[in-house]
Amino acid sequence: MEQRPIGSLSVSVVGLGCNNFGWRVDAAATEKIVHAALDAGINFFDTADMYGGTHSEEFLGRALSRRRSEAVIATKFGWTIDDRRKGARPDYIRRAVEDSLRRLQIDQIDLYQLHKPDPSVPIADTLEALDALVRAGKVREIGCSNFSAEQIRQAEAAVRSGAARFVSLQNEYSLLHRDPESGVLSECVQRGIAFLPYFPLASGLLTGKYRKDLPAPHGTRLTSGGRFSGRLAGPNMDLAERFAQFAAARGRTLLELAISWLVAQPAVASVIPGATSPGQVKANAAAAGWPLTADDLAAVNAIVSTNN
């Protein structure tokens, strides 16, 4: 599989989002999914300390224990775990990284990401604490998530000469969620920051299993009645159906379009869909093999334009 850089790291263009581990997927199933990913050429695994109530890191660490050298491990800190474990204060960062290293059963985190901005802490203080972790050998590279273009600029301005800087940004981006195109992607291109799209399949809506005139499958994230159920609203279904028809006319699937389209976007280093089975992760890995032409990309944009 093609690999692209995130700072000094080299990652597969399709990675594995590990937010299902410890929540929808137990430890045994996690191991099967992780090994299927490695066997399919995926080397990039993205988790967070709060995923699965901290169990995602634990399950991922166990699954990779014998294959650590094959993996690039990314995790995140800063989202609320409980009242004492949250935010981007330097003293908490020092605790959070030790907790993640222990749960992951590793000595060094490849990519350590601030999960969301913390307006109560100057970004310079956060960056200084993260730089100390890099200098101590506990972290190889640092990144951020859910940052705006302006917040990226503020972080860049706060970096001391020679210190670690954010080499990646992880925001939501998909065929159905195009917000990063309003300044964030161009900022990443300008500053050489790798972009990591999360929810690349719109929580499953772009997998092809939801069709406009057919009953939605039961037991899925979008039909569980939770915060993702709104993605099945009419406009999204209309767009997904048109994208599916576009792909089918070219002998491809909606899944292939969703992932290959992201791979073709500027600054994107790795697309990180989740998976709840080895079959899903293998399909995700294979879906990046459609080299979209300029005409294909223009036609996709035309579908979006005519739907607005």
Q: What is the pLDDT of residue 206?
A: 96
Please give the C-alpha separations between residue 187 and each of 6, 44, 152, in angstroms, as whole numbers: 15, 23, 8
Does 173 qualify as catalytic in the annotation? no
Q: How confident is the model at residue 233 (pLDDT cuts 50, 70, 90)?
A: low
Q: Who contacts 72 (Cβ-Cβ below 8 Å, separation ≥6)?
A: 6, 9, 10, 11, 43, 44, 45, 110, 111
- Angle at which helix 90-104 crosses helix 55-63, to 10 degrees, equals 40
The pair of three-digit structure tokens given for residue 199, joined into one six-digit string: 């929810």
Q: Mind listing the pLDDT tens digit for each residue in 149-182?
A: 999 999 999 999 999 999 999 999 999 999 999 9
Q: Is the model's pLDDT at 223 over the cut of 50?
A: no
| CA 167/CA 129 separation, integer angstroms | 16
Q: Is the model's pLDDT at 286 over the cut of 60?
A: yes
- Angle at which helix 254-263 crosses helix 278-286, to 10 degrees, equals 60
The neighbour count for residue 157, using CB atoms within 10 Å, is 9
Q: How confident is the model at residue 194 (pLDDT cuts 50, 70, 90)?
A: very high
Q: What is the pLDDT of residue 148?
A: 98
Q: Mind listing the pLDDT tens digit for each residue in 74-93?
A: 999 999 999 999 999 999 99
Q: What is the pTM of this model?
A: 0.92
As a whole-number percent, the residues of the chain with pLDDT over 70 amount to 92
Mean pLDDT of the chain: 93
The neighbour count for residue 10, using CB atoms within 10 Å, is 13
Catalytic residue among 51, 112, 198, 210: 51
Domains of the chain: 3-204+254-290 (3.20.20.100)
The pair of three-digit structure tokens given for residue 64, joined into one six-digit string: 């990779």
